[in-house]
Chain A
Amino acid sequence: MENLIGLLVAAPLLGAAVLLCGGKRLDRAGHWLGTALAAASFVIGVVLFADMLGRDGEERALHSHVFSWIPVEGFQADVAFQLDQLSMTFVLLISGVGTLIHLYSVGYMEHDARRRRFFGYLNLFLAAMLLLVLADNYLLLYAGWEGVGLASYLLIGFWQHKPSAATAAKKAFIVNRVGDMGLSIAIMLMFTTFGTFAFEPVLAGAGETSEGMLTAIGLMLLLAACGKSAQVPLQSWLGDAMEGPTPVSALIHAATMVTAGVYLITRSGAVFNGAPDAQLVVTIVGAVTLIFGAIVGCAKDDIKKALAGSTMSQIGYMVLAAGLGPIGYVFAIMHLVTHGFFKAGLFLGAGSVMHGMNDEVDMRKYGGLRKYMPVTFVTFGLGYLAIIGFPGLSGFWSKDKIIEAAFAKGGTEGWILGGVALLGAAITAYYMTRVMLMTFFGEPRWKRDASGAVAGASPQRPDVEPVAENAADADTAHPATGAAAEPHPHESPKSMTIPMIVLAFGSVFAGGLFSLNSSFVHWLEPVTGHDHGHSPLSAAAVTSATVVVLLTGVALAWAQYGRRPVPVLAPRGSLLTRAARRDLLQDDFNHVALVKPGEYLTRGLVYVDAKAVDGAVNGTAAAFGGLSGRMRKVQNGFVRSYAVSMFGGTAVLIAATLLMRAV
């Protein structure tokens, strides 16, 4: 069985190699090859899962040593895998959702000339992500971590002909470098502290290590998690990452890769358990992000960006839970899995809508689509109910548990965190209802009027300041769009709807299944540990509060977007709305705080380089050149001069020798 673990990674890796190196010959069948290998990985995962269920809780972990990567005295890096319940959960999620999204992409990318390459990158991502969760040491995890970063970069910028996509890819990569730096520093700290970076000795040794060191390691790990999981303050890349094809957003930037930070924190539980300060910072980051992302999600008119804000917020929940320690680890992972289902489903639904709407992403130009896309509507609707935590659906079970756990933290902290989590639930209900209403209900806002232009249809430009957008529309956009065809919304092909349906099942039932007899808690407990904590509120009270805030959020949204028609052009909005449209000024902040000083530093360095360094170098070169020109004049071609030189040289030689003796 151990030998199968390597195959989990090897299958998609093989796919990536074949598809990326295979050339045009594979254009016709490449996507099916990629999908088949992803499915193969999933099948192997299921086999290993069945095998794992056959053993008792404590003996479920499997280890597989593949080869010694860097065998040096005092520094042992192995390519070795560890498959325990935590990894198993991720393997099934990654390969399962991954396979569905491969399938979906077959339809979605049908008309793209570079589809084979797209599947190559997707397979590369799967391989790297599986490596990340299967590694049995931090160094190999780091390799996977960088691998998913690379795949993410390649896929965000997949439509590289669009400058916005290329910029977004670079942005994601660069912001992630900051987080990656944290991970590499954490690994170095581990190595100096424990002399190794394998999970087992590090986590076992955490108990006997000073709290200061654990806090340092924990904060560095948190920095890494912030980068990969788009948590404040490294969250700015996720919104732009929506430039990638929608299946990518669904797989990488919703279901799997962005949750790697939660995996990292949960996996390093022993480190954080010994460092309460680091844990506190983790919960703060999670709480801030969950509100931050939710507010951003409320203001966006671009359906994918609204969902991206939601992703940020939901991962905030997971990070918050992970920061709670043993009370929260299990629920962080549980929410991660249910979120993987419903968020992937929501993104695929959004992709399906865009597919039917000429790639329009502005929800203000949707409306009333439920009649035209019934399957999309139902699956998206189930995902919607799941994410807002409608009682009985997946999101309800997992989110409710996190809110409970936040209260169970105890003390003032518990109250604050629990309150924030509740507030987040209300905002989640608000913005998701808004998305639902703007897209599927109300009057269609995409129809042309008699003049052939209208309904304010403009080329998609969701991020432009609304006022500016109006001006631009008035001057230039209208004549141009007059020629654009009116969209003909239609249901997507089977290859796209089937994955959506499957994911909808997950959105509905996964949470309940996990909560049945606390099965998920029992499943993960041997790895992460579990603690009930002491909640000041009863479970029933928390659940009731959750339902109440959820209904409040839904009602507010309905009052704003259900009862009244949605304006096609975004109103100017309050200060907060405008800030939220600009992602709460995160880019502006980064620009002022980081980019500008960086530019000045660069300019200064270039100046120093040009003047001082180059000056010194060129000056030295010129000096030697001049010296050389002078010295070669001695070489005048006359033997007599040469002879004099030899004679003089000899005289000096003798004189110096005698002088040495005299001295």
Chain B
Amino acid sequence: MSHVATVHSLWTISADAPAAILAPDIEYMQLLPVLIVIGAAVVGIMLEAFLPRRARYYAQVMLTLVALAASFAAVVGLAASGHATEKAQIAGMGALAVDGPALFLQGTIALVAIVSVLTFAERRLDPAAHGNRVDSFAAQGAATPGGVAEQQAVKAGFTTTEVFPILLFAVAGMLVFPAANDLLTLFIALEVFSLPLYVLCALARRQRLLSQEAALKYFLLGAFSSAFLLFGVALLYGYAGTVTYGGIAEVVSGDLQRVDPAVAATMGNDALLLIGGALVIMGLLFKVGAVPFHMWTPDVYQGAPTPVTGFMAAATKVAAFGALLRLLYVVLPGLRWDWRPVMWGVVIVTMLVGAIVAVTQTDVKRLLAYSSVAHAGFILAGVIATTPSGISSVLFYLLAYSFVTLGAFAVVTLVRDAGGEATHLSKWVGLGRRSPLVAAVFAVFLLAFAGIPLTSGFAGKFAVFKAAAEGGAGTLVVVGVAASAIAAFFYIRVIVLMFWNEPKPEGPTVAVPSALTSTAIAIGVVVTVVLGVAPQYFLDLAGQAGVFVR
């Protein structure tokens, strides 16, 4: 007994010993949207291990859909109980913010993921291989393209049902990304959603070499940009002695009360702040596809399986813009006068390059990729407005844009010839004569991209440009409108191709999709039209959600 007491006394008399180990205080309820998705992803991996091959597809699709729906329900529940407004707070020991923008973006991501899962699960478009219905993904990702192993895998009717848990991991990272409240969480979330995307990009069933090339490019450039971002994190830590957003903001604004002696030597060095901030911003600009960090987008969008492209183009943008918003509004508002001019340049170049280069594209997926670059520019114009209406306009734009994008890529999966999807624009000539419905739906999405009134694209663009103009960026608006005019050219050109040209005799066929893709496209159209005709409710929703917690 006595030596126990001695030990105990040693502990108590030790002057510098840790006072007590406190269990981390985790607000599980508020992290529920993320936890559900991560849990389901883990369960999904387990299913891959234990379920018989035949049962996996249905189990995975059901699990994924249920998990995402539950996650969305959790988001709605949190928002309904006031966590988006008066009860907004920092949760998870300072790692995550639970506030309006976070919940709005998480809800958007969950919805986008749900629709994406529908296109992932589509098994009617490709002709059955050896009597097995197949989806857009490789039979066996590890098999060499064109090799014996691949042939055997196809013959055996393998499908890569792992894509569903992989998707869930990516979604988990994306849910965390816009809510991340310190730089390390930001970085980890970035990797959590990027790595699964690299894998997904490599998994195309057709044109696997192109797909693998795209994945490798994406991975290399992604790693490169991650390195920049991480370096920027380090520099910011050196500047502020902390990685939390609130802490850095305090140092920037000069409100800090107590300085940690360990980092006092470098603290307050503005060079560290400026370089570090620029590097972190660059890492995020890479993800949103802003010029000059956009070069991966056309190659990757083209090579990746089209459902993945749709998911990536929609969800990644939402997550990355969310993170960028939080960084600029919470961490660096005190540096507004430093980063705004630079960002102005980025916005202008992004809008113009995206729109101009798209003019000469001949592949639908590359066209949409450049269009996404131009749209990144439009959204950035709202981001740098630095007003509350800037935040809400960006939130609305992301919601609108992501569904247009999903729908457009879903339509791309339908137009096929013998080699799979027929993405070359010459194949789309006269599509409106053969398949008026499909062409009309695609036309709706193109009009929304172009920002024609009564589509969500117009409401979004109007909100963003209005915010930018109110934020004193009139020049940006002028350039943005000019870029929109250029962009309208190639959107309308596709419509002209589809409707006002005679179809070619050996043109592609339009596959009849199952209810899954049909539903995805229908949701895209409905959201596009509803947000275009009656945007006010959603604008109000985004407006209420437009305040960051610190």
Q: Do A and B bind?
A: yes
Which residues from chain A sit less than 8 Å from chain B, CB to CB?
Answer: 621, 624-625, 627-629, 631-632, 634-635, 637, 639, 641-643, 645-646, 648-650, 653-654, 656-658, 660-661
Residues of chain B lying within 8 A (CB to CB) of residue A624: 356, 359, 486, 489
- Is B341 at the interface (CB under 8 A from chain A)? yes
Among residues of B, the one whose C-beta sits closest to the C-beta of A656 is: B342
Query: Can you list 6 contacts pairing A with B, beta carbon distance less than 8 Å?
Result: A624-B356, A624-B486, A624-B489, A643-B224, A645-B295, A650-B282
**20 new A-B pairs (CB below 8 Å) besides A653-B346, A657-B274, A661-B270?**
A621-B489, A624-B356, A624-B359, A628-B357, A631-B353, A631-B357, A632-B360, A632-B361, A642-B217, A643-B224, A645-B293, A646-B225, A646-B286, A646-B295, A649-B291, A650-B282, A653-B282, A653-B342, A657-B277, A657-B342
B217:A639 contact, CB within 8 angstroms:
yes
Among residues of B, the one whose C-beta sits closest to the C-beta of A646 is: B293
Q: What separation, in Å, do the CA atoms of A635 and B341 have in the docked complex?
A: 27
Q: What separation, in Å, do the CA atoms of A656 and B281 have in the docked complex?
A: 13
Residues of chain A lying within 8 A (CB to CB) of residue B360: 625, 628-629, 632
Among residues of A, the one whose C-beta sits closest to the C-beta of B356 is: A628
B338:A635 contact, CB within 8 angstroms:
no
Shortest distance in angstroms between A641's beta carbon and chain B's nearest beta carbon?
A: 8
Shortest distance in angstroms between B547's beta carbon and chain A's nearest beta carbon?
A: 27
A627-B356 contact in complex given A649-B293, A661-B274, C-beta closer than 8 Å: yes
- Is B533 at the interface (CB under 8 A from chain A)? no
A646:B486 contact, CB within 8 angstroms:
no
Shortest distance in angstroms between A661's beta carbon and chain B's nearest beta carbon?
A: 6
Shortest distance in angstroms between A647's beta carbon and chain B's nearest beta carbon?
A: 8
Shortest distance in angstroms between A623's beta carbon and chain B's nearest beta carbon?
A: 10
B293:A654 contact, CB within 8 angstroms:
no
A642-B275 contact in complex given A650-B282, A653-B342, A660-B341, C-beta closer than 8 Å: no
- Is B70 at the interface (CB under 8 A from chain A)? no
How many residues of chain B are within 8 Å of chain A by beta carbon?
40
B270:A653 contact, CB within 8 angstroms:
no
Residues of chain B lying within 8 A (CB to CB) of residue A661: 270, 274, 338
Shortest distance in angstroms between A631's beta carbon and chain B's nearest beta carbon?
A: 5
Q: What separation, in Å, do the CA atoms of A639 and B291 have in the docked complex?
A: 16
Taking CB atoms and an 8 Å cut-off, the chain B residues in 441-499 that contact chain A are 486, 489
Shortest distance in angstroms between A620's beta carbon and chain B's nearest beta carbon?
A: 9
Taking CB atoms and an 8 Å cut-off, the chain B residues in 271-288 that contact chain A are 271, 274-275, 277-279, 281-282, 286
- Is B48 at the interface (CB under 8 A from chain A)? no
Q: What separation, in Å, do the CA atoms of A657 and B342 have in the docked complex?
A: 6
B220:A643 contact, CB within 8 angstroms:
yes
Q: What separation, in Å, do the CA atoms of A641 and B286 have in the docked complex?
A: 15
Residues of chain A lying within 8 A (CB to CB) of residue B277: 657
Q: What separation, in Å, do the CA atoms of A649 and B292 have in the docked complex?
A: 6
A654-B275 contact in complex given A632-B360, A635-B295, C-beta closer than 8 Å: yes
Residues of chain B lying within 8 A (CB to CB) of residue A642: 217, 221, 295-296
A658-B221 contact in complex given A624-B356, A625-B360, C-beta closer than 8 Å: no
- Is B228 at the interface (CB under 8 A from chain A)? yes
Ranked nearest first, the 4 interchain pairs of A and B with the lowest CB-CB distance are A649-B292, A642-B295, A628-B359, A628-B360
Residues of chain B lying within 8 A (CB to CB) of residue A629: 360
- Is B430 at the interface (CB under 8 A from chain A)? no
- Is B537 at the interface (CB under 8 A from chain A)? no
Shortest distance in angstroms between B430's beta carbon and chain A's nearest beta carbon?
A: 23
Counting chain B CB atoms within 10 Å of each CB, the highest count among A634, A635, A637, A646 belongs to: A646
Residues of chain B lying within 8 A (CB to CB) of residue A634: 295
Shortest distance in angstroms between B152's beta carbon and chain A's nearest beta carbon?
A: 32
Residues of chain B lying within 8 A (CB to CB) of residue A656: 341-342, 345
Residues of chain A lying within 8 A (CB to CB) of residue B535: none
- Is B298 at the interface (CB under 8 A from chain A)? yes
A649:B342 contact, CB within 8 angstroms:
no
Q: What separation, in Å, do the CA atoms of A635 and B292 have in the docked complex?
A: 11
Shortest distance in angstroms between B268's beta carbon and chain A's nearest beta carbon?
A: 14
- Is B538 at the interface (CB under 8 A from chain A)? no
- Is B339 at the interface (CB under 8 A from chain A)? yes
Residues of chain B lying within 8 A (CB to CB) of residue A645: 292-293, 295
A631-B221 contact in complex given A654-B278, A658-B275, C-beta closer than 8 Å: no
Residues of chain A lying within 8 A (CB to CB) of residue B339: 657
Q: What separation, in Å, do the CA atoms of A643 and B222 have in the docked complex?
A: 10
Q: What separation, in Å, do the CA atoms of A648 and B295 have in the docked complex?
A: 13
A635:B357 contact, CB within 8 angstroms:
yes
Shortest distance in angstroms between B328's beta carbon and chain A's nearest beta carbon?
A: 13
- Is B337 at the interface (CB under 8 A from chain A)? yes
Q: What separation, in Å, do the CA atoms of A634 and B299 have in the docked complex?
A: 13
Taking CB atoms and an 8 Å cut-off, the chain B residues in 228-258 that contact chain A are 228
